[in-house]
């Protein structure tokens, strides 16, 4: 009585994937009801407001290029913290701009912080950070903590030192507090090489209600 319920395979998908490479899970990114058609460089869906910084010219670590999602009702001013008109980048410790093999990056050996406020935010499903760059080192990757310093909530990530732009995705869940006007995303390369060459970084609030 081997309960061989083979007829439960009514899913006769004629699309028999001959090349069964384990990459099928990337296509099924549980699309939240908004069904996003686009994704960021880490593969996170663009289904909520986002803010992005990028370094493309030598200058100051605290003066990157900024871009924002085209989300009516949530733009630059809504990301601003505690009465400011826009978000800011704070450079903490020994950081500098440098021309790396992957291009111009912020060389972070201290801490790097994106100051934001979410005073107008009612709720959101989850938050993600996608940061891009490499570990500035001949032989070792960097361990980078990505977290909200207001409550210490975040994750530990690792970025390679090979000579290419690596995209590292961090799911921060509900680390950010709706209706709180001063919080941040902090990148802290504390382990391995201890040096992050930051090229680009994006914070997305998925399923945000505001």
Per-residue pLDDT, 83: 83
Rg (CA), the chain: 20
**pLDDT band at residue 37, thresholds of 50, 70 and 90?**
confident
Give the chain's domain count. Answer: 1
How far is the C-alpha of 142 from the C-alpha of 189, rounded, in Å? 6
Q: Output the domain CATH number for residue 123.
A: 2.60.120.260
Q: Is residue 22 a part of any domain in this protein?
A: no
What pLDDT score was predicted for residue 158? 99
Write down the pTM of the prediction: 0.83
Contact 160, 166 (CB under 8 A): yes
Structural domain including 196 reads: 48-206
Which residues share a beta bridge with 203? Answer: 51, 129
Q: Phi/psi of residue 103, each to 5°?
A: 115, -170
Summarize pLDDT for 138-166 with one digit per residue, the tens.
999 999 999 999 999 999 999 999 999 99
pLDDT for 36 equals 60
Residue 73: both structure tokens together? 């009702």
pLDDT of 4? 43
Would 10 be classed as within a structural domain? no
């Amino acid at each position: 009585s081997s309960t061989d319920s083979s007829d439960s395979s009514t899913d006769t998908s004629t699309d028999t994937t001959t090349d069964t490479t384990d990459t099928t899970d990337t296509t099924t990114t549980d699309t939240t009801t908004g069904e996003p058609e686009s994704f960021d460089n880490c593969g996170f869906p663009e289904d909520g407001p986002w803010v992005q910084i990028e370094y493309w010219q030598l200058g100051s670590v605290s003066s990157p290029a900024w871009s924002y999602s085209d989300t009516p009702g949530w733009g630059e001013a809504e990301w601003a913290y505690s009465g400011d008109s826009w978000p800011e980048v704070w450079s903490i410790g020994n950081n500098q701009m440098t021309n790396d093999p992957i291009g111009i990056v912020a060389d972070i050996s201290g801490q790097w912080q994106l100051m934001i406020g979410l005073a107008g935010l009612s709720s959101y499903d989850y938050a993600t950070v996608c940061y891009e760059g490499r570990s500035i080192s001949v032989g070792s990757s960097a361990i980078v903590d990505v977290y909200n310093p207001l409550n210490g909530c975040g994750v530990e990530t690792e970025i390679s030192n090979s000579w290419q732009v690596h995209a590292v995705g961090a799911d921060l869940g509900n680390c950010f507090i709706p209706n709180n006007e001063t919080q941040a995303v902090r990148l802290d390369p504390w382990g391995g090489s201890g040096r992050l060459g930051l090229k680009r970084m994006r914070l997305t609030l998925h399923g945000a209600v505001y």
